Structure 1
Amino acid sequence: MTRVRVRSDALSAASGRLGEGADDLRRAGAALGAALARCRSPGLDPGALVAWWRVETDGLRLAGPAGLWGLALGLDALATRLSVAARAYAQVEDAVAATMAGVRAGADLGARGGYLGEGGAAVSVRPVPAAAGVAPLAGPADLVALGDGLHGGRVRVVEVDDGAGGSAWVVAVPGTQEWSPRAGVNPFDLTSDVGAVTGDATLAAAGVTAALEVAWAAAGGRARHRDDPVLLVGHSQGGILAAALAADPGFRVGHRVTHLVTTGSPVGAFAVPASVRVLSVEHADDPVPTLDLSPNPARASWLTLRVGAGPPVDVGRHALAGYVTTVRAAEGAPRGTVSGLGAWEASAGTFLHRPVRSVHEVVVERGWQNPPT
């Protein structure tokens, strides 16, 4: 995995659109004001004055007591407010980028002291028996639930029949399992949290890639490998790593990522291409999804379900089980109640309601030639 860009362009794009809208409104207000001034200029014949009176009367009726002059001034005032909002959005975007750069610099400094660094380490993967079988995946909640039981650095890969004689692959990535600031054997830790959220390559992400390769090798001749569709799903850090892989052009060269599911993950700053259909679920009172200070992109290929009313903050709402419950409730709601969810499920038909061909679990570990002291 290579370092990926984590600067969000969402606010910058919104800033540009607001600026353009402000300019359009300002031009419209100026044009209306100029037209009104010409109509009121001396030398108009009686017929024109009658026509103008009708315009003024209609303006009072449609635009209120201030009439069309008030409307022209209102357009200019609205344009000014939009311009102020545009500048604020751009400043916030710059502040987020500066914050991310500061986090990365702090992590680099900490690595020199033996903290939050993976220097000298390599990734290893070890296939282990699957803890349990997997039934056909009926919906997004079943995808999210695949993250349950992935203790000890396990990654789960599920092969399903794609309905066309080939295979599709669901890769479940675990969340943070170790909280020590010193990197240990289990790479799903605080070191990977900091590295992944700032766009750095991590051994945890490399291990996820290796786990998929192990599953492909075990499938033998059934797998088309590079042509097979891949869905990445993760909770918390697992979602960060999954989004980082989906945003990594180097990973996508050898893996056809078509879908991404994240729960409780700060992923708005990752440049996931529009070719990947994303479903992000966030509890409004879970503080973790907002740690990147960036809103998720507002586009057709990225569906964000933000559930709840927001503060007060409740760290208990970050638990995987709670997100499984939330997604299952969204699935069970009357059709059309959760806007966009039905369309996302339809797009993921290659992975859902398909026979399961195999389940693979791989333990991902860090190893050092010269272990850190």
Structure 2
Amino acid sequence: MTVVGVRSEGLFVVARHLAAVAEDLRGEAEGVASALARCRSPGLLGGPGLLGGPAVLGSWVRVEAAALRVLGPAGLWGEALGLDALAVRLRLAARGYEEVERWAAAVLGGVRVGSDVAARGGLLTDGGAAVAVTPVVPSREVSPLTGPGDLVALGDGLDGGRVRVVELAAPGGGSAWVVAVPGTQEWSPRPGSDPFDLTSDVRAVTGDATLAAAGVAAALDVARGAGRGADDEPVLLVGHSQGGILAAALASDAGFRGRHRVTHVVTTGSPVAVFDLPASVRVLSVEHADDPVPTLDLSPNPATPSWLTVRVGEGPGVDVRRHALAEYLRTVRAAEDAPRGTVPGMGAWEASAGDFLHRPVRSVTEVVVERGWQNPRP
């Protein structure tokens, strides 16, 4: 798993690009000005040899006026100065963001050190444990998924360490797979049999491998079974809170992507900015501004073409009730039911997820993931 180190580099790259464009604009302006200067000939524009008389002179005056508009403050020179100013602001923002990143990295590093210390006392650790996955009878039927709201709703009823895997008929043949990952179910720092707990919260957000993530991967393997499905069949991971953290962690894991072609991730109320997801994975992250949980990683989600963040509300008020799955489900359904274009990027994201939406359901698999101790429990 790779945890993002610095995102401010992107701001510096954009700033350098803007400065280069500004320099190109100045070069174009100088070229136009030079060409006009060469055209100013006494034989053409003045004296007894004036060709064409006053008509030509009037036309030339209009040309120079147009050139002034092109080259002046509202033209190429002005555009170049504006880009220069924007580049300066981006560089300043990037430097400030570098400080925030260093601070965030230090905080997360401190959390990791603290959890390692706690592990010596048997707290916040998966040490000495192995993952166990037990298939169970699905607790609900699943209808064809019509939008992001139905994807988020798959997380309902995943108590007791359940993971739900839905197999869909892919448009071009074969199957597409949706894996619904549960959120935090146990809050004790002492790990128990249910791995979707505080231990996995802390370990996952600091970049460590977790048995919970291993259990999610095993659930998908169970659903696909021996000989069922191919490695190139698309996979979508969806999760609320810790479920989103684990979904992002798996999607950023090159080993997991080597066995499963993850194309989409949906997270709600999850701090996932620290995960380095490749551009081949289309991410939809939904956050409530008054929910403190999505900000626990101390970083904003990256603004890239492959990552859409829908942040609802203005904050900075805090209302822990807004973290509930039901609240996020209500928000996602409202966003997808809004007139097209109301939520920028939502329509494009839904279009990209065509392998999973409005497709016949072939099977639903549920497993219970447990943490079992191979050695005496810490």
What amino acid is aligned across from residue 158 of structure 1 in structure 2? V
Q: Cα distance, 1:342 vs. partner?
A: 1.2
Q: Cα distance, 1:82 vs. partner?
A: 4.3
What amino acid is aligned across from residue 275 of structure 2 in structure 1? F
Deviations along 1:166-195, one digit per CA (max 9) or x if unpaired, are 111100000000000111110000000011
Q: Which runs of 5+ in 1 are unaligned?
A: 33-46
Aligned twin of 1:92: 100
Tell me whether 1:329 sits opposite 2:312 in the alignment.
Answer: no
Tell me, yes or no, if the aligned pair for 1:5 and 1:271 is still in contact at 8 Å. Answer: yes
Tell me whether 1:239 sits opposite 2:244 in the alignment.
Answer: yes
The one of 124, 127, 130 equivalent to 1:116 is: 124
Tell me, yes or no, if the aligned pair for 1:177 and 1:188 is still in contact at 8 Å. Answer: yes
Deviations along 1:125-184, one digit per CA (max 9) or x if unpaired, are 111111111111111100000000000000000111113331111000000000001111
Aligned twin of 1:5: 2
Query: 2: distance between equivalents of 1:327 and 1:369?
Result: 42
Query: 1: distance between equivalents of 2:89 and 2:300?
Result: 22
Deviations along 1:252-282, one digit per CA (max 9) or x if unpaired, are 1111111111111111111111111111111
Change (3 A) 1:360 1:20: same
Deviations along 1:176-224, one digit per CA (max 9) or x if unpaired, are 000001111100000000111111100000000111111111xx65x22
Query: 2: distance between equivalents of 1:151 and 1:100?
Result: 29
Q: Cα distance, 1:22 vs. partner?
A: 5.8
Change (3 A) 1:215 1:27: closer
Query: 2: distance between equivalents of 1:115 and 1:365?
Result: 17
Corresponding residue SS for 2:236 = strand
The one of 221, 225, 239 equivalent to 1:213 is: 221
Tell me, yes or no, if the aligned pair for 1:14 and 1:89 is still in contact at 8 Å. Answer: no
Aligned twin of 1:41: none
Q: Cα distance, 1:63 vs. partner?
A: 4.9
Larger Rg: 2
Corresponding residue SS for 2:231 = helix
Tell me whether 1:255 sits opposite 2:260 in the alignment.
Answer: yes
Query: 2: distance between equivalents of 1:93 and 1:102?
Result: 14
Tell me whether 1:284 sits opposite 2:289 in the alignment.
Answer: yes
Query: 2: distance between equivalents of 1:372 and 1:278?
Result: 38
Aligned twin of 1:230: 235
Tell me, yes or no, if the aligned pair for 2:6 and 2:98 is still in contact at 8 Å. Answer: no
Q: Cα distance, 1:333 vs. partner?
A: 0.7
Query: 2: distance between equivalents of 1:318 and 1:87?
Result: 32
Tell me, yes or no, if the aligned pair for 1:8 and 1:268 is still in contact at 8 Å. Answer: no
**Which deviates more from structure 2 when the two are superposed, residues 198-207 or residues 69-78?**
69-78
Deviations along 1:315-372, one digit per CA (max 9) or x if unpaired, are 1111101111111111111112111111111111111111111111100000112233
Count of residues in correspondence between the two structures? 359
Aligned twin of 2:140: 132
Change (3 A) 1:81 1:262: closer
Corresponding residue SS for 1:322 = helix
**Which deviates more from structure 2 when the two are superposed, residues 299-308 or residues 172-181?**
299-308
Aligned twin of 1:14: 11
Aligned twin of 1:43: none
What amino acid is aligned across from residue 170 of structure 2 in structure 1? D
Aligned twin of 1:268: 273
- Identical aligned residues as a percent: 68
The one of 193, 197, 205 equivalent to 2:201 is: 193
